[in-house]
Structure formats: C-alpha cells, structure tokens
Amino acid sequence: MNYLVTGGAGFIGSHLCNRLLKNGDCVVCVDNLQRGDETNIRGCIKNAKFKFYKVDATDQESMEAIMRDQKTDMVYHLAANTDLWESMKDPELEHHCTFLTTQSILNAMRNTGVKKLFFSSTSVIYGEQKGSPFTEADELHPITYYGSAKMASEAYIYSFSYMNDIDALIYRFSNIIGDKMTHGVIRDFIFKLKNDPTHLDVRGNGYQTKPYLYVDELLSAILMIGKDFNGVEIYNVGATSCTNVRFIAEAVIKEMGLEGIPINYEDKEMGYKGDIVKYEYNVDKINKRGWHSIMSSDETVLRTVKELVREFGN
Amino acid sequence: MNYLVTGGAGFIGSHLCNRLLKNGDCVVCVDNLQRGDETNIRGCIKNAKFKFYKVDATDQESMEAIMRDQKTDMVYHLAANTDLWESMKDPELEHHCTFLTTQSILNAMRNTGVKKLFFSSTSVIYGEQKGSPFTEADELHPITYYGSAKMASEAYIYSFSYMNDIDALIYRFSNIIGDKMTHGVIRDFIFKLKNDPTHLDVRGNGYQTKPYLYVDELLSAILMIGKDFNGVEIYNVGATSCTNVRFIAEAVIKEMGLEGIPINYEDKEMGYKGDIVKYEYNVDKINKRGWHSIMSSDETVLRTVKELVREFGN
C-alpha cells in the first residue's frame, strides 16, 4: 500500500509514519516543517520505502503531482496548525494551515482519483455544549478558530466524498499526549519551571478537566480500521476517564523534584478564552468497532510527564 | 441604521435592499454582478440613502474600507454562488463565492468592530438524513459543494462570534422563490417550453417534493427579528407544506397555455446527483419567535409560476 501522510513530521504524523513503515507499507511524508521537525522522522529517512517532501499541503499542484507520481492509495491528512495561542491573535493562520490544507487535499484527491482519506478532527469541534459526554451526533458549536477550521474541513469532506465516491474516516481526537508532542499544558509547566523553579503560575483555577489519551493508543485506533470504512464515518477517539490541571501541576512538580513549591491558581474557571473547561467523551461507537483505551487518563498523564521531564526537564 | 447587504443586486438581496430603504434606513449594496444584476436595484439607485459598490466580497480590504467609511452597523451577508450546476463541475467556484466571501466578511467585521451579522444558510446543509422534517439540532451532512460551503461558513461564524463578541442570526432557507429569481425548476421549465413547446422533459420521476416559500414571506421573517439576537441564533425558515415537481410541471404548462402536451419523466428518483429528493421542514423555532408563513407551498408555486410566465413566458 502507498500512503501519503500530511503533517508527517509532526507529533502524531511522525508516529504514524513509523508505524506504517513497520507494517511494510510505502509512506510519503509531506510537511512544510512549520510545526513539524525533521528530527521526528530521522528514523524513517533510512528506510527505502519512505519519501519526504518539504511541501505546504495548500500547494494543490504539488500535492496532485505527488499523489500521481507516488501512486497514492490513501491519504492520512494530519497537517494543521497546532499553536492555538498564535491563531487566537491571527485567524488567518488557522484558516491557512487547518482549513485550506484540507480543501487542497480534497481537490487533489478529486483530480487524481485517490479514494481513501483519513482526517484528524477534534473534540474541540463540539465547543460549548449544554452538557457532556460528547457523542458524535451532538451539535457542533466550535468557539475557537481551530475548532471552526476543523468543522469546516468536515463540511467539505462530506460533499467531496459524496460527489467523487471518496471514503473518509474522521476521528475526532480528544487530548492526545505523548513523546514528541509540541504543545499543551504538560510542556508549558515543564518550561515554566525550568525558567523559574521557585513557583508555578497556572492559568485558570486548575479544575479544567479533560480526557488524555496516549499517542500509541490513538495509533492503534487508526491502524485498527485501516482502509475498512465506507462513505463518511465519524468516531470520537479518546480516553473515557479524565484528569484535571491540578493533578498535572502536582505530577510535573514531583517529577522535577520540586515538591513543596507554591502553585498559584487564578480565580477563574477558564484558562484562556475559547477553552472548553470540562468535558467527558463518549467513545461507545469506536468501542463497538473493537477499539478500547488501555490506560486511564491519569496513567497517561503520569507516563507522559515522566517522558517529557526526561526529555526537557533538566 | 447603516446596513451593508452583500449580494445586494441578487434575487433575495435586492428585495432586502428595497425593504430596508422603505423602512428609512441607509443601505450599502455590495455585489460583484456575477449572478446579481443592476436592473434589480434600478429602483434603489435614486434613493439618497442607497449606495452601490461593484466589489467581490472576498476582497477583504475593500470590505473593510466600506464598513469603516459607511459606518456599518450590521451586515446582511447574502453573497453566494447560486448556480449549482456550475459548481458541481467546479467546486472552486463554490469555495470562492459561497465560503471565502463569508471568511472575508468575518475578518472585515473583526477588524472594523461591526457586531451584528445576518447570514443566509440553507436547508441543503442537512443533506442526506435518516428522515425529515429537519430541525435545527439535526446532524449536518451536506452532499453538494454548495451545502458544504454554507456549513463551513456557519462553522467560521461560531468562533468569530465567540472570539469577537459578534452576534449572528443564521437563517437556514428552504426553497425560496418569487419575482427576480435567477434559477430553479420553475424557470427551467419555462425556458425549456419557450425553446420547444411540443413537450416537457423533466429530470427525475417528478416526485421530488420540497417546501417552497415566497420571497416576501422570507423578508418578513428577516425584518421581524431585525437586530434583536444575541450570540449565534439559528432558525429554519420555510414553508410547512410541500409541493412536488409534477404539480410544478403541470402548473407551468397550464399557465403557458400548453395543456395536453406530453411530459416525459425519468425512471429515477433523483433529478441530479446531490439533490435532496424529498424533505419537510420543521419551523417551530421561528414560529415561537412570532413568524408564521401565510401561503401554502402550492399557493406560492402557483403565484410564482404566474409571475415568471408573465415575465419570461412569451
């Protein structure tokens, strides 16, 4: 099989490239290296079945040429903006990196006849709801530019799928963490404490509570279905349990050997405008397809804290 | 009040410009005249409170200058592609005219501080559902590029509204017909019969059944709420009864004095790929706000057939 992975030098993308190569498949990695990093695919480069193109996925002409030349069977479209702070100030960034990449990929698939697409959507798409756990049939009310760009991408996938007989598998990721991650609260805390180990300032009151899933578990969910999907199939993928920010703050401080330092919380629920402060995730649908998470959200956080402190903490 | 109407020289937009002027308000009409027509706004031009700009709404810089110079209080964003046949062959057309216009308008509002938006969405956004009548909380599964571009527009409205305190009123129009309309089955039949009055070829089996609402009734629904909305409010707006294509074919033939000619139906449900063959519309939510349709769908069709045959039929 010939796979094309956009955002393939990024956090989740590079893990995916590795796993596909391990299965013996051919992998073309496309990344503009804006958020992705060549060191993430160092291990892949030696493999004769791996090719890397430094291309922005919005460059539709190049994407078409790559799909044609490399005889792409299926696209894993993971390219997106990952810096939510930046896009809050500049929605154009999100529009370009998260939405226009999808539009370009869909047009390129339409023009070259590629019929299988995996798309990485997000729990953020549900936005402000009357209540969670979120299920796939819930209304979509994104409140960040990131969530909107993902919802707009899903919107385009529907008609491109229907009009061109493209099958699309959409996973709405909850918070995915692990080795190589480029952003998020665990990294933030580690870098804050490296900078000033006397105390930790936390955005919000620390009761923000979300389900954290380890990246390897997400990859198992992706590879489990493989190419076995038809029309547009949408699944929530995430942990069933949740972890709050206070737990994370204490875990990072402990792992860095800084027990006892003061943690300063703010007197407000929301760490930043657009944050979904608390949510749970209904993953019954993907469970029925045969995938179940293994680690609890707390276990996932503890493992990732250990790994990231080892990598960055000293 | 200073209103800006995009697509203001089009079918619904030009009716809206007229009604707003009649209320004594100032109206700036923006239209690229690709689908709109200057003859539609002939009556407005003489009014000192009316200004027309031949500008494409994707030209964000011009839109910002207009909003600033004209001290816009509220935008009615109606600009969109209306030629679904063309966009089926060329999704880029839909992307540009229907989605990127919205993206541009939202950015321009964000940058100039305009806080009130009306957006014309569509019943097509519901796409293929397990059943109708469609209600606002239903899942969105558009299957045409047009429906996807409208859903993507709604997606962007959510976050731009939340992040910039913009209030947005979204009406999902059912089939709107009446004087000045530029496309649709009634026009198609009239022009076919003008071209060859010996018979009428109909796409599909004629049992495609939809709710038709007269444009004046839609305008009453738009003006009823005016600026009285907060956050993002979404309403279905349409007729509660429905009309099938056989009824329309017979009405057009009768009005053109061609009774007795053969009508040739196809042996398939769908007139074209992407058509939603049958649907009913739940408008309880807008009913509760105080708007109710007056004419039945059949009455609306008969009135419009009369008007269009008078205009084009001879």
Statement to judge: residues B131 and B93 lie in one domain? yes
Q: What share of chain B is helix, strand, coil (3-state, %, to 5)?
A: 45, 20, 40
Number of A to B CB contacts under 8 A, please give it: 100
Statement to judge: residues B138 and B258 lie in one domain? no
> Are the beta carbons of A132 and A281 closer than 8 angstroms?
yes
**Chain B CA closest to residue A274:** B163
A129/A27 Cα distance (integer angstroms): 39
- Residue A26: pLDDT over 90: yes
Average pLDDT (B72-99) is 94
Which residues of A are less than 8 Å from B99 in CB distance? 152
DSSP string, B263-296: EE--SSS-SSTT---B--B--HHHHHTT----S-
Tens-digit pLDDT profile for residues A231-284:
999 999 999 999 999 999 999 999 999 999 999 999 998 888 888 888 999 999
Which residues of B are less than 8 Å from A148 in CB distance? 155-156, 158-160
Of A193, A221, A237, the residue at which a domain comes to its end is A237
Statement to judge: residues A173 and A83 lie in one domain? yes
Question: Between β-strands B243-244 and B175-177, what pairing exists: parallel, antiparallel or unpaired?
Answer: unpaired
Tens-digit pLDDT profile for residues B228-267:
999 999 999 999 999 999 999 999 999 999 999 999 999 9
Statement to judge: residues A119 and A145 lie in one domain? yes
A136/A282 Cα distance (integer angstroms): 8
Exposure class string for B80-89: b at 16+ Cβ within 10 A, else e: bbbbbeebbe
Statement to judge: residues A64 and A166 lie in one domain? yes
B168/B154 Cα distance (integer angstroms): 10
**Chain A CA closest to residue B135:** A139
ipTM: 0.96
Q: Residue B71: count other Cβ atoms within 10 Å of its Cβ.
A: 11
User: What CATH number corresponds to the domain at position B25?
Assistant: 3.40.50.720
Determine whether the interchain pair B140/A140 forms a contact, defined as Cβ–Cβ distance below 8 Å: yes
The reply to whether the predicted model has a pTM over 0.95 is yes
Statement to judge: residues B224 and B92 lie in one domain? yes
Average pLDDT (B91-97) is 97
Statement to judge: residues A85 and A226 lie in one domain? yes
Statement to judge: residues A220 and A293 lie in one domain? no
Beta strands in A183-278 (DSSP E): 200-201, 209-210, 212-214, 232-237, 243-244, 263-264
- H-helix or E-strand containing A75? strand A74-77
- Paired tokens of A14: 């590079």
Average pLDDT, chain B: 95
- Out of A53, A76, A146, A214, the active site residue is A146
> Are the beta carbons of B205 and B267 closer than 8 angstroms?
yes
pLDDT band, residue A45 (cuts 50/70/90): very high
Of B221, B237, B253, the residue at which a domain comes to its end is B237
Statement to judge: residues B165 and B223 lie in one domain? yes
**Overall domain count for chain A:** 2
Determine whether the interchain pair A99/B127 forms a contact, defined as Cβ–Cβ distance below 8 Å: no
pLDDT for res A230: 97
Distance (Å) from the alpha carbon of B239 to chain A's nearest alpha carbon: 24
B41/B10 Cα distance (integer angstroms): 9
Which residues of B are less than 8 Å from A143 in CB distance? 158-159, 162-163
Q: Across the interface, which of B103, B152, B158 has its CB nearest the CB of A141?
A: B158
The residue assigned the tokens 């690709």 is B34
Statement to judge: residues A158 and A288 lie in one domain? no
Taking the CA atoms of residue A66, residue A71, residue A77 and residue A83 in that order, the dihedral angle to the nearest 10 degrees is -30
Statement to judge: residues A32 and A42 lie in one domain? yes
- Out of B3, B53, B126, B146, the active site residue is B146
> Are the beta carbons of B280 and B241 closer than 8 angstroms?
no
Beta strands in chain B (DSSP E): 2-6, 26-31, 50-54, 74-77, 116-122, 167-173, 175-177, 200-201, 209-210, 212-214, 232-237, 243-244, 263-264
Which residues of B are less than 8 Å from A156 in CB distance? 148-149, 152
B185/B209 Cα distance (integer angstroms): 12
pLDDT for res B10: 96
B151/A125 Cα distance (integer angstroms): 13
User: What CATH number corresponds to the domain at position B245?
Assistant: 3.90.25.10
Residue in A141, A148, A172 to test binding to B, most B beta-carbons within 10 Å: A148
- Residue B274: pLDDT over 90: no
Range of the structural domain that residue B191 is part of: 185-210+241-312
Q: Is A146 a catalytic residue?
A: yes
Statement to judge: residues A165 and A262 lie in one domain? no
Distance (Å) from the alpha carbon of B259 to chain A's nearest alpha carbon: 37
Tens-digit pLDDT profile for residues B181-190:
988 999 999 9
- Paired tokens of B56: 């494409």
pLDDT band, residue B271 (cuts 50/70/90): confident
Tens-digit pLDDT profile for residues A139-161:
999 999 999 999 999 999 999 99
Determine whether the interchain pair B160/A91 forms a contact, defined as Cβ–Cβ distance below 8 Å: yes
